[in-house]
Structure 1
Amino acid sequence: MSDKLTIAIVGGGPAGLTAAVILQRHGFNVTVFEDEPTDAARSQGGSLDLHADSGQAALRRAGLLEQFISIARHEDQESRMLNYLTGDIEVDRFTPEGEMDKPEIDRGELKNLLLSALLPQTLQWNHKLHYVDYGQQKAHGLVFRNGRRYEADIVIGADGAWSRVRRYLTPVRPVYTGITFFEGWIDHPSDQINSIAGNGTAFSFGGAQALVTQRNGGGRICVYAAMKRAPDVIDQHIASSGLTAWVRDSYRDWAASLQLVVNATGDYVRRPIYSLPADFGWAPRPGITLIGDAAHLMPPVGVGVNLAMLDASDLALALCEASHPQNGLRSAETLIMERARDMMPDAIAGFQNWFDDKA
């Protein structure tokens, strides 16, 4: 049913690009609009582990699984828990070779892999959505800040936490979880820091604070100093001593080895964590839908990108197989919303439990 159907995807992250690749493989006319001016305009974020039954399944449908397997970091699947006062390893989970089914890939590499499968000019940079001129019985007009207008039969909102497409389906907005991550990078970690971080992800929890290190490509380590703090309290500390200095000082009572990690990064970047409600959903509206964080923003508990890519592949296949596009949208939306509602309560509660200041 791809004949003459025009699809606009707002958002050029893993979800939007995955949907575009699969739809294009089935003959759809697809354009992806990304608000960033270039690929280098924003930090790509940390490493991603793709699960066999979700992220990898989506790549299989996109015809990219073998390429992913060949470039992924299969060695970085370990995880460990460190005592925040002593730095001792309390849990060290080594993944046996036969069970290493969640290989890691840097976000930028994943995007490049997906982009390599798209026709030239499919992804349009510097297109920040201004508004949607919604058509009841005909194509919808997407109006961008750069002055361009684009007509599409179907609009897919893959535009993340603060989705502008979502507002045409619901007034519900994400709320602050009470927790903020401060992201820093160690480009050239010492042997001691490498031994702390291990081959994968290391966690340490100390009441209302946490420290997470994540191995990335090229030997780099991403550090997340996470704190349960009100925004105004954070603002006051930053105004008083500066963001990076305050973050480092906040770990002065932690183990010396973990302080070494906190102090070894470049400047930290503030990333408050938001979430949609656990029962979030929207009423169907012809020709417009959501996937990924736009559809079910939740705290970072290790499933976000996998769920987003699975949304994308399920939606794309539903459109390919449906007798009418609206039937495809409705069946995919039902699946996407039900799946998210099953996962979000535990994701939200579990994330809050990590920062129980009575722990």
Structure 2
Amino acid sequence: MSDKLSIAIIGGGPAGLTAAVILQRRGFNVTLFEGESADSARSQGGSLDLHADSGQEALRRAGLLGQFIKIARYEDQESRMLNYRTGEVEGDMIAPEGEMDKPEIDRGELKKLLLSGLLAETIVWGHKLHHLDSGLNGKHVLTFSNGRRFEADVIIGADGAWSRVRAYLTAERPIYTGITFFEGWIDHPSGRISDIAGKGTAFSFGGAQALITQRNGGGRICVYAALKRDIDFLDQQIACCGMTAFVRDSYRGWASSLQSIVNATGDYVRRPIYSLPMDFDWVARPGITLIGDAAHLMPPVGVGVNLAMLDATDVALALCEAAHPLNELRNAQTIIMERAHDIMPGAISGFQNWFSEKESPEMRGWGGGSSSCQEKR
């Protein structure tokens, strides 16, 4: 039966691409639909660390681990904390020697690696899912916003936070966490800024604000200015001051060295952080499943892409290796949800703790900054 299955994957991120590589290499008829017009249509975001037991394991199953090892940045695994008042290093979180096996790779480079494992015709660009319905003989019919229709036996929803496939299985929608990241880039950091960022990721927490710098390939630094603010309030302040001015002003009172990072960044991209409930589940329908953020959207605490790629291998291998693949697909769904239920409570609460107003021995220097934009209200 499995040799005759037609499989459609919705979403061309790491999860969807990983599933497509495994399925295609096992001889399946798989088509991946991506809403973006091309792989270079937009910025791919910051660096990712792939863990040995999840992200790297997924690449091994996809036959791409050796290529990953050649391009991964093992030198950028350091992680440390900076005091938001002084800018001084408070403590490092570098793993003991021999345990640093979470090498970094730029998201765009990971995507290129996965694309290299697929036939070019596997991916259909510029196709946003509009509607999904069940047709005759258990087939599922996909209708895209451009009017195209496609029929498949199996639908894998890898279409992220606002998954259209998820909407077919449940009415549950992501909830705003109360925190918004403003992403910016420093393409040519000064020596001073480069030293602050270090060889990896540097965190600084100040109550309702946080600042995260992340080393990327080519010496570039990704900056995340994170603010715990209501969406309506952000709308008002950005309309009043402009996004860049508002973000910079939000860090007035922080250490001058950290302000220099915020000020060196060009245009910011606003990224409100959403999450599904920690006990989220969906009603199973034969031949339809979810992976990655579509299945368990949670705050960005360093596990998302690894979990998504592991989901992809669970689903793909269930379809590949089983005598009754649709039954095994349901079993894979159970594994995915049980794993997510183990991780999500800690991810959600831990993320909120980053923005706690209370000081703690682990994250000293928490407090709050003022903003002249706020004072203009």
> For the superposition of Structure 1 and Structure 2, which TM-score range results when normalised by the shorter chain?
over 0.9
Report SS of the residue matched to 1:75.
helix
Counterpart of 2:265 in structure 1 is: 265
In 1: Cα distance, 2:272 partner to 2:108 partner: 22
For residue 121 of structure 2, give the secondary structure of its aligned residue in structure 1: coil
SS in 1 for 2:357: coil
Match of 2:7, SS state, is: strand
**Partners of 1:136 and 1:176 in 2: CA distance:** 38
Matches of 2:105 and 2:251 in 1, distance apart? Answer: 29
Once residues 101 and 136 of structure 2 are traced to their aligned partners in structure 1, the CA distance between those partners, rounded to angstroms, is 45
**Map 1:142-291 → 2, pairs under 5 A:** 142-291=142-291
**Alignment partner, residue 54 of structure 2:** 54
Contact 2:15 2:309 in 1 (8 A): yes
Aligned-pair distance for 1:98?
A: 2.2
Residue aligning to 2:106: 106
Aligned-pair CA distance for 1:96? 5.0
Paired position in structure 2 for 1:347: 347
8 A Cα contact 1:291 1:308, kept in partner: yes
Q: Secondary structure of the equivalent of 1:99?
A: coil
Distance 2:52 2:279 in 1: 26
Match in the other structure for 1:4:
4
Amino acid at match of 1:296: H
More moved, 332-341 vs 86-95: 86-95
Unaligned regions of 5+ residues in structure 2, if any? 360-377
- Matched residue, 1:134: 134
Between 40-49 and 220-229, report the one with greater CA deviation. Answer: 40-49
Could you tell me which amino acid in structure 1 is paired with residue 17 of structure 2? L
Q: 1:98-135 CA deviation, whole Å, 9 max, x = no partner?
A: 22200000011101101101112101100000101223
- Deviations 1:190-211 (Å, cap 9, x if unpaired)? 0000100000000000011000
Secondary structure (helix, strand or coil) at the match of 1:183 reads strand
Measured after TM superposition, the shift of residue 97 of structure 1 is: 5.1
Q: Distance in 2 between matches of 1:134 and 1:349?
A: 38
1:24 and 2:38 aligned: no
Amino acid at match of 2:349: A
* Mapped contact 2:2–2:325 kept (Cα < 8 A): no
The answer for the alignment partner of 1:337 in structure 2 is 337
- Alignment RMSD, CA only? 1.0
Q: Output the CA distance in 2 between the equivalents of 1:220 and 1:119.
A: 31
Paired with 2:37 and 2:345, the residues of 1 have a C-alpha distance of 36
Q: 1:2, CA displacement in angstroms? A: 3.2
2:93 alignment partner AA: R
In 1, Cα distance between equivalents of 2:177 and 2:120: 40
Kindly indicate whether the alpha-carbon contact (under 8 Å) linking 1:2 and 1:27 is maintained by their aligned counterparts in 2: no
1:94, distance to aligned residue in structure 2 (A):
3.5
Question: Are the equivalent residues in 2 in contact too, given 1:2–1:29 (CA < 8 A)?
Answer: no
Structure 1: which 4+ aligned runs deviate by more than 3 Å? Answer: 93-97
| Matching residue of 2:316 | 316
Contact 1:136–1:286 under 8 Å retained in 2 = no
C-alpha distance in structure 1 between counterparts of 2:352 and 2:332, whole Å? 30
Q: For 1:97 and 1:63, locate their aligned partners in 2 and report how far apart those are by CA, in whole Å.
A: 28
Tell me, in whole angstroms, the C-alpha distance in 1 between the residues paired with 2:339 and 2:157: 18
User: Are the aligned partners of 2:140 and 2:154 in contact in 1 as well (CA < 8 Å)?
Assistant: yes
Q: CA shift at 1:319, angstroms?
A: 1.0
Identity within the alignment, %:
77
Question: What amino acid is aligned across from residue 182 of structure 1 in structure 2?
Answer: F
Task: Name the SS for the 1:98 alignment partner.
Answer: coil
What's the secondary structure of 2:315's corresponding residue?
helix
Distance 2:203 2:338 in 1: 31
Give the equivalent residue in structure 1 for 2:67: 67
Q: How many pairs were matched up? A: 359
- Match of residue 307 from structure 1: 307
Match of 1:15 in 2: 15
Q: Give the distance between the partners of 1:12 and 1:222, measured in 2 at CA.
A: 23
Measure, in 2, the Cα distance between the counterparts of 1:224 and 1:324: 46
**Residue matched to 2:374:** none
Cα deviations by residue, 1:239-274 (Å, 9 ceiling, x for unpaired): 111001100000010000000000001111100000
- Note the C-alpha offset of 1:95: 4.1
- Paired residue type of 2:36: E
Q: How big is the shift at 1:136? A: 6.7
Q: Which residue of 1 aligns with 2:35?
A: 35
Q: Structure 1 unaligned runs (5+)?
A: none
Q: Contact (CA 8 Å) 2:200, 2:215: kept in 1 or not?
A: yes
Cα distance in 2 between the residues matched to 1:39 and 1:5: 27
Match of 1:76 in 2: 76
Q: 1:331 corresponds to which letter in structure 2?
A: N
Read off the aligned partner of 2:68 and give its amino acid letter.
F
* Partner amino acid, structure 2, of 1:298: M
* Alpha-carbon distance in 2 for matches of 1:79, 1:190: 20
C-alpha contact (below 8 Å) 2:2/2:324 kept by paired residues: no
What is the alpha-carbon distance in structure 1 between the residues aligned to residue 224 and residue 256 of structure 2? Answer: 17
